[in-house]
Amino acid sequence: MAMVSRSLTPTETSYSPIEGEALALIWAVDRLKHLILGAKTIVRTDHKPLIYIFKGAAQRPKLMRWALLLQKYDLVVEYVSGKANILADVASRMPLKKWAGLLNE
């Protein structure tokens, strides 16, 4: 299991929810490509519409391009309800100072 994160740029803050979730996936996959290229990788998300871009249902050009970029990876995107996705929920709400303290221990 791996987790990575970053802040959004001012332009990215105006993205629609599906674009923001897809951007997060694109960025994370690129950041972790050395770990996942050639390996079956399960992506768990609480954003159900994200699974549809992998089924050819992306209608926006940006999402279509991103879906094409992800085709070289063996990704399985699974929907997990927000209530059941506790680890991601905690990680997304923990202050950066707390993360920094954990990493320095």
pLDDT at 103: 52
Per-residue confidence of the chain (105 residues) as pLDDT tens digits? 777 888 899 999 999 998 999 999 999 999 999 999 999 999 888 888 888 877 777 678 888 888 888 999 999 988 888 776 666 655 566 555 555 555 555
CA 42 to chain CA centroid, nearest Å: 11
Tokens of 77: 């995107």
Name residue, tokens 């490509």: 33
Those residues with Cβ within 8 angstroms of residue 101's Cβ, 6 or more apart along the chain or in another chain: none
Which pTM value belongs to this model?
A: 0.74
